[in-house]
Amino acid sequence: MKPYIRAAACTAALFIATAGFAQNHDRFDDHDRQVTQDWYQQHQKQAPKGWRSQDRLSSEQEGRLQAGRRLDPDLRKRSYAVPSDLRRHLPPAPRNHHYVTIGGRLVLVDNHNVVRDVLTIRF
């Protein structure tokens, strides 16, 4: 195989593998947990909406914030955009999904407001 064909094949394989990972990252992992916890530790004194102590959820609200369930109107009102300096350290959300913060949690939701995963940090 000629070197330029081999290089093109390797580049294409790497692109496909990387694109597949980004699209399938539909669950939080240890890296996401560590990045989010570190970010919160650095920002807790001036935490933005969604991360403040007054934004905490009641136990009844916590029970409704579960993977596989649709966000109800109350939880949607309590959701905020993820700060850009945290979002830059997270992998791209899968297509038709986005990150939000609700009550000190990082939440991955789809475009139909169905929760895909919830990452809880320690306040």
| Chain segment 35-58, per-residue pLDDT in tens | 999 999 999 999 999 999 999 999
Domain boundaries, the chain: 26-120
Per-residue burial over 65-74, b if 16 or more Cβ lie within 10 Å, else e, is beeeeebeee
CATH C-level class of 26-120:
alpha beta
> Edge-to-edge strand order for the sheet containing 79-81?
79-81, 97-102, 105-110, 115-120
pTM for the structure as a whole: 0.79
How does pLDDT run along the chain (123 residues), one tens digit per residue? Answer: 555 555 444 444 444 444 444 445 789 999 999 999 999 999 999 999 999 999 999 999 999 999 999 999 999 999 999 999 999 999 999 999 999 999 999 999 999 999 999 999 876
Cα 123 from Cα 121, distance rounded (Å) = 6
Q: Backbone phi, then psi, for 33, in 5-degree steps? A: -65, -45
What integer pLDDT is reported at residue 63 of this predicted model? 95
